[in-house]
Structure 1
Amino acid sequence: MSVRNKLDISAYFVVGPENTKGRPVVPIIQDAVEGGFTCLQIRSKTVSARELIQLTHRASEVIAQAGKSDTVALLVDDRLDVVLAARKQGIKVDGIHVGQSDIPVEVCREYLGDDSIVGLSARTHELFEYIKTADVSQIDYFGAGPLHETKTKPDCGLNLDGKVITRSFDDIAKLAKLSPIPVVVGGGVKLADIPQLAETGVDGFFVVSAVSEADNPKLEAAKLVDTWKSHTPLKR
């Protein structure tokens, strides 16, 4: 059975070499997986395709060594070429996450097949109308946010007028109700946000720096996951 059939986006970690304060990425990925994260996205706008493939390979090995290849999804941000090249080399990659201005989801689906996960960043502009009317037949989940402005992705939540729109917990609760598919929310999310975020009814949270820049990434990952679980008893 493919990971797509039992996709768990409750604890979603996004990471690349530019997010770790100069520390090696792979041990931090290992910390996140061991800390209980259920979905991993490799994202970098600075390294070469070859480096991304290598990092994806190492991440896949970390997940396999933890015995979680069937339960922890491994995705690559934006780079369909990297996913295809990695698979050609026999690396287990479960899918891709794309933004509204990246490769169209139907192209990703055509090349990656029905067993793959395709995630899409929800449109900031006219968000609620978009969520209600979007064709979700090709995608598995929406990524939404930001909850707070974030230096990790300064263009997250950028509106047509160039201003960043952050989302209140009320907005997020409304989003959870309207969306026909699962929603994962991030953007500057910290441990203190998790209880309230869990109560909005969304399917998960995503973080970058809360784990990748933590002094003890494994401890921070476990705290985030445990706090989420303790505030979403119906989804545990």
Structure 2
Amino acid sequence: MSIRKKFDLSAYFVVGPENTKGRSVAMIIKDVVEAGFTCIQIRSKVASARELIQLTREASEVIAQAGKSDEVVLLVDDRLDVILAAKQQGIKVDGIHVGQDDIPVEVCREYLGEDSIIGLSARTHDIFEYIKTVDVSQIDYFGVGPLHETMTKPDCGVDLDGKVITRSFEEISKIAQISPVPVVVGGGVKLIDIPQLAQTGVDGFFVVSAVSEADDPKQAAVDLVKTWKLYATVGCKDLIEKQVKL
């Protein structure tokens, strides 16, 4: 079965060399894969195409060595050229994530084929109308955010007036209800946000610095996955009871 038909967005890690405090990208990816993360995205605005291809190769190898090539999705942000070059070199990469101003989804689908995963950052302004009306025939999930302003990607959530719009849990719940495709939420997400976020009905969370800049990336990843699984499977009454116990 194509991974596109069974991929899991619940724990989604975005990383590039500028996010790791000088530590190995591959080693941190190894940590998060072992911790139970289900999706890895290679994203960098400073790395060259060759560097991105190498990072993609290392990430693919880490996932394979963990025996999770059929479970953990590997995506590259924006760079269709990098993905095509990686595939030509025999690197297993599962798809692309694009923003509104990146290469069009239709072009990505044409070049990557029907088995590849394509994620799209949902438009910041008029997001509710957009999600209800956009043609989703070529995309597999929406990335939504930010939950909080974040220095990792300062332009995340910038609207037409140049202001950053963050999303409340109430708004995120509404987005989850109306979206015709899975939704993953990020942008400044921390461990403390996971219980509420898991209750909104979205399909997962994405993080960068909460793991990549942590003193112990593996433990941070374990805590995020464990907390998501705990709260994504309980009802509101159970949630209150768990919070009281904590």
Match of 1:219 in 2: 219
Distance 2:211 2:42 in 1: 14
- CA deviations over 1:105-156 (Å, ceiling 9, x no partner): 0100000000000000000010000000010000000000000000000000
Deviation, structure 1 residue 183? 0.2
Match of 1:34 in 2: 34
Amino acid at match of 1:227: T
Deviation, structure 1 residue 60? 0.0
Deviation, structure 1 residue 233? 1.3
Distance 1:164 1:22 in 2: 28
Deviation, structure 1 residue 180? 0.4
Q: Does 1:193 align with 2:175?
A: no
- CA deviations over 1:58-80 (Å, ceiling 9, x no partner): 00000000000001000000000
Higher-Rg structure is: 2
Amino acid at match of 2:20: T
Deviation, structure 1 residue 24? 1.3
Match of 2:104 in 1: 104
Amino acid at match of 1:114: E
Within 5 Å, which residues of 2 pair with 1:2-21?
2-21=2-21
SS at match of 2:58: helix
SS at match of 1:75: strand
Match of 1:61 in 2: 61
Match of 2:152 in 1: 152
Match of 2:86 in 1: 86
Match of 2:133 in 1: 133
Distance 2:12 2:125 in 1: 24
Normalized against structure 2, the TM-score is what? Answer: 0.94
| Structure 2: gaps spanning 5 or more residues | 235-246
Deviation, structure 1 residue 2? 2.1
Amino acid at match of 1:198: A
Match of 2:174 in 1: 174
| Structure 1: gaps spanning 5 or more residues | none
Deviation, structure 1 residue 5? 1.2
Distance 1:190 1:131 in 2: 25
Distance 1:201 1:25 in 2: 31
Normalized against structure 1, the TM-score is what? Answer: 0.98
SS at match of 1:90: coil
Q: How much identity, in percent, do the aligned residues show?
A: 79
Deviation, structure 1 residue 3? 1.4
Amino acid at match of 1:120: L
SS at match of 2:211: helix
Distance 1:23 1:11 in 2: 21
| Structure 1 residue runs of 4 or more that deviate by more than 4 Å after TM superposition | none
Amino acid at match of 1:6: K
Match of 2:120 in 1: 120
RMSD (Å) for aligned C-alpha atoms: 0.6
Deviation, structure 1 residue 12? 0.2
SS at match of 1:181: coil
Distance 1:229 1:151 in 2: 27
Match of 1:164 in 2: 164
Q: Does 1:51 align with 2:51?
A: yes
SS at match of 1:76: strand
